[in-house]
Amino acid sequence: MSTDKVRSTKLKFKGEKTKKKRTREDDDEGAGSSRRRRRENDEEASETWVLPESAVEIRGPTFMVHPSDPSPITITYDSTRGRIVVQSLDKDKSEDSEHPSLLERVPTEVSQVWVTTRVAGSPTINLRTGTGEGKFLSCDKHGLVSADREARGPQEEWTPVVFPDGMVAFQNVYEKYLSVDETAGGQLALRGDSEEVGFRERFWVKIQSKYKREAHEEEKKRTEGMVDASKIDETSANKIYQAWGAGRTVVSVDDKKELKKARKEGRLAEALLDRRSKLKSDRFC
């Protein structure tokens, strides 16, 4: 009897893939499609327009709506004429067409979007046009609002104030508020000289969800950093409370034992203060 292994009689052509390979490749292709769909969904969710819950969340692309009657209005920038335009959100819709609710409104034109940047170490923000050369929203001491400056200074700084109902007011450097005002010709325009916040000074503001998450992550890191900094470091604490001249630390063997015991008992800060008072008393006696 021949000892050769029995080979399959099924014909195979050069380059033909086995069934197992096809299955694995199909699985890989399916996994790739799933990852691609998941990535597309994440990107779509990141660009969803949401309401900020606090002032620090207002950043990135920003959409501002005022609940005027009969049609809500938004602040836009006409890059051709280089001026701010207060525009009705229903200007291109017929009376019979159905309008979305106020909080469902999203920008439909690039000119309706402003780019918010935050001033480092400050609660103030800058609002820059999303079209044209990027001009900053500013207000002078007379309350005249414009967007014709490429550089930012004190007049281009705004402090957002978020109210419990979610609406936002913008305060300028002169401690006056941005408002929608009706001019002599019946047209609407922006002013920056209101001393109190009323209906004309309140806006609905929308940002993209990824920037809201970014603000939360920054706040979380900042909070974690504060917690880490609050942990007691005996060496550092000794230098703070017991250093005399050029950072020289004075700790005897008995003091080390006492401080170690105090730390275990949770009264280290009290012990360090007592130690400092004692050293001062010994020094000036």
Pick from 85, 125, 116, 120: which is nearest to 207 by CA?
116
**Can you read off the two tokens belonging to residue 211?**
């920037």
Domain boundary among 218, 239, 271: 218
Highest mean pLDDT among 4-18, 100-114, 250-264: 100-114
pLDDT at 238: 55
Residue 5 lies in a domain: no
The count of C-alpha atoms lying within 13 angstroms of the C-alpha of 231, restricted to the half-sphere facing its C-beta, is: 6
β-partners of residue 83 are: 78
Q: What percent of the chain has pLDDT over 90?
A: 41
Mean pLDDT of 84-99: 76
**275 and 157 belong to one structural domain:** no
**267 and 200 belong to one structural domain:** no
**Can you read off the two tokens belonging to residue 69?**
């009657």
**Per-residue confidence band for 172, with pLDDT thresholds at 50, 70 and 90:** very high
Domain boundary among 166, 192, 218: 218
How many structural domains is the chain composed of? 2
**111 and 164 belong to one structural domain:** yes
Task: Note the pTM of the prediction, 2 decimals.
Answer: 0.64
Residue 34 lies in a domain: no
**264 and 210 belong to one structural domain:** no
Residue 53 to residues 56, 82, 173, 213, Cα–Cα distance (Å): 9, 32, 23, 11
Residue 36 lies in a domain: no
Which single residue is written with the structure tokens 């402090």? 159
Contact assessment for residue 135 and residue 129, using Cβ atoms and an 8 Å cutoff: yes
Range of the domain at 57: 50-93+101-218
Residue 206 lies in a domain: yes
**120 and 203 belong to one structural domain:** yes
N-to-C CA span, the chain: 113
What CATH number has the domain bearing residue 152?
Answer: 2.80.10.50
In angstroms, the CA 244 to CA 211 distance is 48
In angstroms, the CA 127 to CA 190 distance is 14
pLDDT at 189: 92
**54 and 171 belong to one structural domain:** yes
Residue 166, pLDDT above cutoff 60: yes
Sign of CA dihedral 36, 38, 39, 40: positive
Contact assessment for residue 257 and residue 265, using Cβ atoms and an 8 Å cutoff: no
pLDDT in tens, 39-73: 655 555 677 999 999 999 999 999 999 998 888 99
Question: Which H/E stretch holds residue 147?
Answer: strand 145-149
3 state DSSP class of 212: helix
**120 and 214 belong to one structural domain:** yes
CB environment 2-37: b (16+ within 10 A), e (fewer): eeeeeeeeeeeeeeeeeeeeeeeeeeeeeeeeeeee
Residue 23 lies in a domain: no
Contact assessment for residue 77 and residue 131, using Cβ atoms and an 8 Å cutoff: yes
pLDDT in tens, 194-232: 999 999 999 999 999 999 998 888 878 877 766 454 454
**198 and 79 belong to one structural domain:** yes
In 10 A of CB 164, how many CB atoms?
5
**Per-residue confidence band for 12, with pLDDT thresholds at 50, 70 and 90:** very low
**109 and 247 belong to one structural domain:** no
Angle at 192 between CA 186 and CA 193, to 5 degrees: 95
Residue 24 lies in a domain: no
pLDDT at 171: 97
Residue 149 lies in a domain: yes
Residue with more model confidence, 92 or 194: 194
**235 and 213 belong to one structural domain:** no
Residue 35 lies in a domain: no
Least confident of 130-134, 216-220, 267-271, 281-285: 281-285
Mean pLDDT of 121-128: 90
**200 and 248 belong to one structural domain:** no
Domain boundary among 162, 191, 218: 218
Residue with more model confidence, 2 or 213: 213
Residue with more model confidence, 177 or 9: 177
pLDDT at 129: 93
Average per-residue pLDDT for the chain: 78
**137 and 257 belong to one structural domain:** no
